[in-house]
Structure 1
Amino acid sequence: MDTQQVTLRKMTPAEYHAAAEHREAESVHALSKFMPEELARERVRHGTAHFLPDGPDTAGHHLVMAENGSGEVVGNAWIGPDPGQASGSADSAWLYDINVFEPFRRHGYGSAILAAAEELVAREGRTALALDVVGSNEAAIALYRRSGYEVSSMSMRKNL
């Protein structure tokens, strides 16, 4: 696999809209396995409104596009305060979302975007970056493990 590097920049309004649509559709799809689709849509809309009340201009959140050395946009990420820590006292940040666009997958860009996100939060004085991952997303789990992430908690479910 190639070693890649990316530069992060703030999303434009159009990029934010497209990323939000993609993120919300993915979230509804994942949640619909555990609840009715309409309830999943409501929960996702509520989450977006709660965590990003000012959209891409929400204080403390970074909604970024990742560009490779040729200036191609290869993916995006949403990094913000750790929702599990008290506001203003957090030593960790939270990776809410990360995407590598289809033509750039399996070329090392996931690792590059993750490393750039880690550098961004380290520059802010944070000492950790935490995240959630869907248990069936084996590619993401492998990426996080290769990048040094460890399981800090686990939820399990069985539909009856």
Structure 2
Amino acid sequence: MLYIKATKDTLKDLNAKPHTVESTDPFFSWHVNFFTLYGKKHYVFINDLSRMSLSVTGIRSNSTKVQEIFLTHLCHYFALEHIPEALMNAYLDNCKEYVLTKTDSRSVLGTLNEVMLTMKTLESGNEELKDQDTRHKWNNRLIYKPIDYERPIDVFKKELKERFGKARQTNS
């Protein structure tokens, strides 16, 4: 199950009511907020476990396609990072259903705000970060204290291999 944990402003923008959730798997949980970057509204998703982030455009107010748009961008990013298709499919198989709920981690929100602030700060002086793929790769190679000063993409890949690596080997 995919858990999308939206800030109050994001819930209001989506005109959505959050569901109550007792507990979530941090690997399948993503906090989300939105802000303006390069003159467009971007939703920034950040994985609770790895702090891997994606900045996504194309989600409109009152949108009911948040999950679909997010997973499309996530698939594209997996391909960009050369994540094996078997691992990608194993992760996405767990995301067929989703729940929209409220944020629940100040630590994840802090990292999310740091990612947004960094992108906003670099907006005017770095034209190459206008490219979404470049921006994703750049953001996911920054190091963060909550993940023991590792890079988010490395933490995410390691967890993918630990959870789904055996399934990949038996399918090969």
TM score, norm. by length of structure 2:
0.30
**Higher relative contact order (Cα pairs below 8 Å, separated by 6+ residues):** 2
> Going by fraction, where is helix more abundant, 1 or 2?
2
TM-score, length basis structure 1:
0.31
